Structure 1
Amino acid sequence: MTIRVLLADDQRVVREGLALVLGLLPDVEVVGAAADGGEAVELAVRLRPDIVLMDLRMPRVDGVEATRRLKQRAPEVRVVVLTTYSDDRSVLEALRAGARGYLTKEAGGEEILAAMERVRRDGAALDPAVQHHVLNALHEPPPRDNDGLTPREVEVLALIAGGLSNGEIAARLHISEGTVKSHVNHLLAKIGGRDRAQAVAYAYKNKIVPG
């Protein structure tokens, strides 16, 4: 299916360049572009794209706050951060706000497409270049019992961190997708997470997957 994308970046040349690159990719439609976070939220609520490619540093409303507002107003719209910033604080703030993916602007068109496809399938996409920042920011020692997660929940969590969707996890573990959803809901409740991006951060923090 075609991925409908909204671009959010305060630099016109970046928006136009991204629109050009994405327009050359198969099954991608750029449905709009915003120059700041506030405009991105309003356009996303109206246009309901599948993905918002969100810069972090924008005037009036930055990308983190825009992501937080979208989580409340249009939770079905997924946010993939695309930014030049890959420091600890930026990565964690974006994930905590509800971003499902985090890429640097060094990513090429195929990388962006792969990340968007993964996120649309309810997966998460972290640029390898920023994964170690998650570990650095989440430096507290892991709880010994992983907050009471069962071995199966730990297994599901590791696969979520690997970017697999519920359907892919079900196929990998030879269980139903409904069972996977149940495991996801239970493990999120135990770790105090709201979404899969926070589950990924937890998995790296607690060394459930290698950094």
Structure 2
Amino acid sequence: MKKKTIVIVDDHLLFAQSLESLVSQLEDYEVLAILKNGKELTQYYLHKRKTPDLILLDVKMPVMDGIQTMQWLKENKPDQKVLALTMEDDEETIIKMLRAGAKGYLLKDIHPENFEFAMKMVIEQGFYYSGKIESALRHSGNYEDKNFHEKLTEREWEFLKLACSELTYRDIAKEMNLSPKTIENYRETVFKKLQVKTRVGLVIYCMKNKLFKVE
């Protein structure tokens, strides 16, 4: 059986080596390279080395960080699957990585068994989220139910599209010529209608249901 190939991009050498050891112990995977930042990854591709099935990408790195790396991949290697593996769990960073094309976002304290499952899901299914992000997606309804978004008004749709951008809620208020309080009301209403709990959950909902292109 052909092994799935992995490239690790992380500037913390000790962690990267530990991760390589973990991946190498898995029967179905092998590590092609350990790189210290996004710049080294671009050089990896320029030398026409083997394209991996999956990149495990840190977010905070010197020279070329995870977000910059994702932006480069989006332009140059749009089909490359990437799983972010980081300590950064703030909403803004997560949304930037998702918008740039990351197919999964894990925190480094994830259990090894869940980590293996996450790699498998991203390679085979295209998406995987856990921890804080997974909790953002939990709701009582069916995630794939297309009827949820049909309940939105025209202005709620406008809010939804802006909420999936990098604008702050204050910026969205200015864009829609509304008060911050009104935007807060829109947020609560849309969250309730789509049955998501956070802005990250909202972005993933739109991506998975292809309501519109998240760029």
TM-score interval w.r.t. the shorter chain?
A: 0.5 to 0.7
Q: Return the TM-score normalized by structure 1.
A: 0.64
Structure 1 residues 22 and 44 mapped into 2: Cα distance closer, same or farther (>3 Å)? farther
Deviates more, 1:54-63 or 1:42-51: 42-51
CA contact (8 A) 2:105 2:130 kept: yes
Structure 1 residues 23 and 143 mapped into 2: Cα distance closer, same or farther (>3 Å)? closer
CA contact (8 A) 1:10 1:36 kept: yes
| 1:37-186 alignment runs, 5 A limit | 37-44=38-45, 46-132=49-135, 140=187, 141-142=189-190
The code of the aligned residue for 1:69 comes to W
Q: Per-residue CA shift, 1:78-125, capped at 9, x if unaligned?
A: 010000111111111110110000000011322222111111123311
Provide the rounded CA distance (Å) in 2 between the counterparts of 1:131 and 1:122.
Answer: 16
Structure 1 residues 44 and 21 mapped into 2: Cα distance closer, same or farther (>3 Å)? farther
Matched, 1:13 2:14: yes
Unaligned runs of 5+ in 2: 139-162, 165-183, 195-203
**CA positional deviation for 1:43:** 2.0
**CA positional deviation for 1:25:** 0.9
- Other-structure match for 2:33: 32
Provide the rounded CA distance (Å) in 1 between the counterparts of 2:131 and 2:55.
Answer: 20
Q: Per-residue CA shift, 1:147-194, capped at 9, x if unaligned?
A: xxxxxxxxxx97x95xxxxxxxxxxxxxxxxxxxxxxxxx63x42236
The code of the aligned residue for 2:3 comes to T
Provide the rounded CA distance (Å) in 2 between the counterparts of 1:21 and 1:41.
Answer: 25
Q: Return the TM-score normalized by structure 2.
A: 0.63
**CA positional deviation for 1:3:** 1.4
CA contact (8 A) 2:99 2:214 kept: no
| Percentage of identical aligned residues | 26
Larger Rg: 2
**CA positional deviation for 1:74:** 1.5
